[in-house]
Structure 1
């Protein structure tokens, strides 16, 4: 049997020391206390606080509204319009550049020549059936005569296209061919094509005359005649363009009573027309004092250029006392 020793009772000092240790332990391991909330001034309710915040916001907005800086910035729409206007101004300036104008004229001339040649080819192909009927002269289908009749219009068209193509090419180079022999060849081919298309459908030849059928068969040759006549004149007009002339103002004067008038400048093309007109007068193909109409027909040039050449000849004759001073008028 064991004997336990009684535990001595703690003294007041031990109790005080234990409590102090416990307080230090709790203070060392306790979480930080939350920061105290700001205390509103005495007497401010929530409504007063909201109104004070609203007044402060209004004062800040009033100070910012007096600043015009946002209005100085370009919006997306304004920048898009400014870009379009700047581009239009640059394009307008580029359109007045002589090199740009020459390029546009060359492109348009090439387009017109291409369309004219395609139209001429189609017009001549349109008349192939009418020429074949004329050339076959009632030969049975698929007989040698009937087959060879289909070749009549193609070799006529190819010969005509050679002449027209040569004149068109030389016209694009500023040296149009004005040979009367080539003009007569063109008209001969066109007259043959027109006659062979129209003959079987003329009154007194056709068993049952029909005006609409006649017009339909001569349509191709008529279109070919129009193209062959108009194409050299158009190309001569392109060759006489002055790409260096200023076009910022109104359309300038294209005719003057005296070729020496400084209002109208003489272009290299007009000098060439004048030299060719003198050569034609010397060869006897034009009268000594030709009219502008005769010059235009002989040179296949524009009427303005023909008038300028006529006036230059009249001025030269007036200076030398020649008969051309009182020549023809057109």
Structure 2
């Protein structure tokens, strides 16, 4: 008895076409598909680096195009714009505050103090500069540290203290609108300044000095000249500050603040003369009564006598004419 052996070969009873289809199906099931890159003549192998870069750039541009068309970022202020806007608002607020009568009065008081301190320092330095010249004149060749040489250093200081007393008195009264124009005080000032100038200049005049030089003379009279200039200018400056009108009411109420706006077609008001200050008007009437001023003084005479501005002098003149 024989046993039939089964092999993997083709069944003789099957047709050749059916056998070929079975082999093709078996190969498709048992074989993995090749990757796309392994295909003969693949697309990536034929593309250059420049083409790949251009494809990436085009893809990026297609993504950026709708974003760049959106104007939302343009509506936002940059840090620089916000900083400039803040500075502009601060400048407008400071301008508005600068029109406040109280602030203007504070500014005037501060500047008056600055000018007074500056002028006072210049006066003290000028008098100190002339001290050496006065000491040389007063010592008259005395030996160093002798009584005459030591006391000669005190001549200029006590004259300076007397001069500063007169200057301070005139300064205080000028700030109250009552300038001291008494001729005796003016003569006292001129006397002290003349003595200081003469004692500094005398040893260096032609015929007195052993060797005369213009530079030596100017150098020694510089201090007295500066002192004369400061003493003459300070009362005028103080009186001008005293005549400032900041438009504040006696009760402390303030007028409206000028708004920080601009009008292109706003009419420009014509300038008007200020009202006559009561202090200057009273002073002018006193001088007319004493005969220092004529009954109908001119604006120039009032300005020179009262040490005020020309506008105030004209205002006082007009009031005096009306009540004449």
TM-score of the two chains, using structure 2 as the length reference: 0.72
| From 136, 139, 142, the counterpart of 1:139 | 142
Quote the residue 2:273 is aligned against.
264
* Offset of residue 218 of structure 1: 0.9
Alpha carbons 1:233, 1:302 under 8 Å: kept: no
Q: How many angstroms does 1:105 deviate by?
A: 0.9
The one of the two structures with greater contact order (alpha-carbon pairs below 8 A, sep at least 6) is: 2
Q: CA deviation at 1:56?
A: 8.8
Residues 279 and 144 of structure 1, relative CA distance in 2, 3 Å threshold: same
String of CA shifts for 1:133-170, please: whole Å, max 9, x gaps.
Answer: 11112222221111111110000001111111222233
Q: 1:64: how far off?
A: 3.9
CA positional deviation for 1:219: 0.8
Report the TM-score, using the length of structure 1 for normalisation: 0.71
Instruction: Using the TM superposition, give the Cα deviation of residue 211 of structure 1 relative to its aligned residue in structure 2, in angstroms.
Output: 1.7
Equivalent residue in structure 1 for 2:119, among 116, 120, 126: 116
Q: Identify if the C-alpha distance between structure 1 residues 135 and 93 changes in structure 2 by more than 3 Å, giving closer, same or farther.
A: same
Match of 1:311 among 279, 294, 318: 318
Count of aligned pairs: 264
Deviations along 1:231-270, one digit per CA (max 9) or x if unpaired, are 10111111111223998998973xxxxxxxxx33416xx2
More moved, 293-302 vs 238-247:
238-247
Deviation at 1:196, TM superposition (A): 1.0
1:257 equivalent in structure 2: none
Classify 1:58/1:137 alpha carbon distance in 2 versus 1 (closer, same or farther; 3 Å). closer
Whole-angstrom CA distance in 1 between matches of 2:223 and 2:106: 33
The question of whether the paired residues in 1 share the 8 Å contact of 2:123 and 2:230 is answered with yes
| 1:280 aligns to 2:283 (yes or no) | no
Match of 1:14 in 2: none
Distance between the aligned counterparts of 1:61 and 1:150, measured in 2? 90
Q: Which range moves more in the overlay, 213-222 or 290-299?
A: 290-299
Give the direction of change, closer, same or farther, for the CA distance of 1:197–1:146 in structure 2 (3 Å limit): same
Aligned-CA RMSD value:
3.1
Gaps of 5+ in 1: 1-44, 254-262, 318-330
1:125-136 mapped onto 2 (5 Å cutoff): 125-136=128-139
Q: Which residue of 2 aligns with 1:89?
A: 92
Q: Quote how far apart the aligned CAs of 1:53 are.
A: 11
Stretches of structure 2 that go unaligned for 5 or more consecutive residues are 1-42, 48-53, 248-254, 261-266
Residue 227 of structure 1: how far off its partner (Å)? 0.6
